[in-house]
Amino acid sequence: MMSCLILERPGKWRGIGIFAGLLLALAPSLALLFSLGHPTASSPAPVFTTVFINALSRSLAVALAVAIFSVAIGLPTGVMAGLYQFVLRRTLLALLALPLLVPSFITAIGLSMVRVALGLRPNGLFSGFTGTVLAFVTFGTPLVSFITLASVRGISRSQVDAARLAGGERHLAWCVARSVLPLAALTGVLAGVLTLSDPGPGQIFGHTGAASEILVSFASQYDFALAARQCLALAGVVFFAGLPVAAFLAPRLATGLLARDVTPAPLARVRWAEMCGPMLLSALLLGTVILPLAGFVQPLFRSVPAERALQEVGRTVGNTAFYGIVASLLATMLGVTLAICSGRDAKLRATLLVGLILLFALPPSLGALGWIQLAGASPAQLDPVFRGPLTVSLALALRFFPFATIFALRGLGTASPSWSSVAAIHGVSLWTFGRKVLAPWLRPAILTSALLILLLATADVSSVLLLHPPGKSSLPLAIFTVMANAPESLVGALCVAYVGGAALLLGAGLLASRSFRRKP
């Protein structure tokens, strides 16, 4: 009988497990890297052409702007929502999560439709550099807001009381903002880094970046080798930009995740916050949710191509659900396994988190092109793994499992180490302990991360575009494919259908999380 003590004791298996997990996630990218090491018959096209370097600098400018704006807006929002109670706080915050679950190109479509509807200049606010930055900020700002909010709620009640006693609300807000600024800033940088790999908004607003160049090389020029090398070049930039962020962020995140729950300060009711809170969050929702939504809905006032939209949704909903559900299951299993491997060792956790942050920041097309490389080298018997719908799910699972790992780490961090000690004393087997104690304890974390990954995997376009088998498109990919040529009303209807579906899933998830909320 395997003792439950294995869960709390150090062991070589922990490091090996983490290494194997990260290697598995990196395997397709490594396959791509090794394939480029082989000499080819024809001389390869150069990577660092003027076009690519210009695209890369445009991408970096967008990333910088997104990081700055996301922190400038997200930090005060997170501090406000973390310290104060105001009308509709929970509802407004739940709605603010919506842009995180919608592909950035869908937001960009909405904003570009607003520009058309308002008759703005093609090179004005909702186009080019500003349009691209705006579309990404709708994702970056909620991300920074929520991370800031979580950090503020991690400050103990006594610390908040002490700051309040020392200098009142202004002093408290200043102290709290200063304390969470490093994490908020790093999250902003991460949001900026993530934009480097996303071609969507840039293509829509005519401000193409490095990620778009990779798509062009692969899908228009059919030059796999060039796309792969461009992808590696971009990955190199992302890696070196992301490494200091990950190295700085990971130990703090590891400590936070390892900590047992603190008693957060109750949300205070002060007059100015009761006024400013709803206004700030409403303004944010206006920019991130309502404005893009107005863009989709506006063409529907002229005509509603319901039949065509339903046909398109019906054609793709099964594939979309398959990709999302299987990816969510696989990512959750891998995430929980890695979290168990890292245990309570702060160093192992920090190492794992550095790996996870870097993996997530790498361009999704890097892994996808790696899968294509593996498919080319694998025998026909392995087609279901390398060339089928499962390939898409596998690629998505390996992209999004960092979320599952972080949720599972948090869940395990809140469990008492003496639970397994007492189980060992009473001779409870590891299997029974896992089934009756650990799994139910982790259930809220597992379900939340599974839902989040389901939504994120559903929203992905980059991996699905490169890997989906013929005729097995997902709904976001269908929108991405038809957006340039189909009537505005059809694109609008499809976007509304997608956002509505994401909102429904989010609502269902929130309701489920309430019913699963643990008692103290």
Partner 1 sequence: MNALIQVQDLGQSSDGHVVFQSVSFTVLAGQHLALLGSSGCGKSTLLRLIAGLDAPVRGRIWLAGQLVSDNGRILIPPHQRGLAMVFQDLALWPTLSALENVLLGMAQSHWSRRQQKERATEALTRCKVGELAARKPGTLSIGQQQRVALARAIAGRPQLLLLDEPFSSLDPLLREELMTEVRRLAGEINATLVLVTHDVLEALALAQRAIVLEDARLAESGELVSVLAAPRSRLLRQCAAQIGRLRSG
Tokens, residue 284: 């944010």
Beta bridge partners of 264: 156
Shortest spacing between CB 252 and partner 1, in angstroms = 22
Shortest spacing between CB 434 and partner 1, in angstroms = 11
**Binding flag, residue 519, partner 1 (CB under 8 A):** yes
**Euclidean distance between CA atoms 314 and 336, whole angstroms:** 33
Tokens, residue 69: 């704006």
DSSP 216: I
**Closer residue to partner 1 (CB): 116 or 424:** 424
* Interacting residue with partner 1 among 224, 239, 322, 419 (CB under 8 A): 419
**Euclidean distance between CA atoms 188 and 71, whole angstroms:** 6
Residue span 94-133 as binding mask against partner 1, x where in contact by CB under 8 A, dash where not: ----------------------------------------
Considering only 190-198, 325-333, 434-442, 452-460, which stretch makes contact with partner 1 by CB under 8 A?
Answer: 434-442
Beta bridge partners of 156: 264
**Euclidean distance between CA atoms 483 and 465, whole angstroms:** 14
**Binding flag, residue 425, partner 1 (CB under 8 A):** yes
Q: At 336, which helix (H) or strand (E)?
A: helix 306-342
Considering only 154-162, 371-379, 385-393, 428-436, which stretch makes contact with partner 1 by CB under 8 A?
Answer: 428-436
**Binding flag, residue 418, partner 1 (CB under 8 A):** yes
Shortest spacing between CB 438 and partner 1, in angstroms = 8
* Interacting residue with partner 1 among 6, 294, 424, 482 (CB under 8 A): 424
**Euclidean distance between CA atoms 418 and 421, whole angstroms:** 5
Count of beta carbons in the 10 Å neighbourhood of residue 443: 13
Tokens, residue 418: 């003496």
Q: CA quadruple 445, 446, 447, 450: dihedral positive or negative?
A: positive
SS3 297: helix
Considering only 171-179, 369-377, 381-389, 419-427, which stretch makes contact with partner 1 by CB under 8 A?
Answer: 419-427
Shortest spacing between CB 513 and partner 1, in angstroms = 17
Binders of partner 1: how many residues, by CB under 8 A?
22
**Euclidean distance between CA atoms 506 and 182, whole angstroms:** 29
**Closer residue to partner 1 (CB): 91 or 416:** 416
Q: Which residues touch 492 (CB under 8 Å, ≥6 apart)?
A: 113, 295, 296, 297, 298, 299, 300
**Binding flag, residue 440, partner 1 (CB under 8 A):** yes
**Binding flag, residue 190, partner 1 (CB under 8 A):** no
**Binding flag, residue 427, partner 1 (CB under 8 A):** yes
Tokens, residue 327: 């990816």
Tokens, residue 225: 């080798």
Considering only 314-322, 334-342, 403-411, 424-432, which stretch makes contact with partner 1 by CB under 8 A?
Answer: 424-432
**Binding flag, residue 507, partner 1 (CB under 8 A):** no
Shortest spacing between CB 336 and partner 1, in angstroms = 16
**Binding flag, residue 11, partner 1 (CB under 8 A):** no
Considering only 91-99, 307-315, 338-346, 425-433, which stretch makes contact with partner 1 by CB under 8 A?
Answer: 425-433
Residue span 377-416 as binding mask against partner 1, x where in contact by CB under 8 A, dash where not: ---------------------------------------x
Considering only 140-148, 248-256, 278-286, 431-439, which stretch makes contact with partner 1 by CB under 8 A?
Answer: 431-439
**Closer residue to partner 1 (CB): 286 or 422:** 422
Angstrom distances, CA of residue 227 to CA of 201, 210, 217, 481: 20, 10, 5, 20
20 φ, ψ to 5°?
-65, -40
Q: Please report, to the nearest 10 degrees, the dihedral formed by the alpha carbons of residues 356, 357, 361, 365 taken in order.
A: 0
* Interacting residue with partner 1 among 437, 505, 510, 512 (CB under 8 A): 437
**Euclidean distance between CA atoms 105 and 3, whole angstroms:** 50
* Interacting residue with partner 1 among 441, 469, 503, 516 (CB under 8 A): 441
**Binding flag, residue 429, partner 1 (CB under 8 A):** yes
Residue pair 193/238 in contact (Cβ under 8 Å)? The answer is: yes
**Binding flag, residue 428, partner 1 (CB under 8 A):** yes
**Closer residue to partner 1 (CB): 284 or 442:** 442
**Binding flag, residue 513, partner 1 (CB under 8 A):** no
Opening angle at CA 185, ends 85 and 68, nearest 5: 100
Where residue 378 falls (left for φ over 0; alpha for ψ -120 to 50; beta otherwise) is beta
Q: Where does this chain bind partner 1 (CB under 8 A)? A: 3, 5, 416, 418-419, 421-429, 432, 436-437, 440-441, 518-520
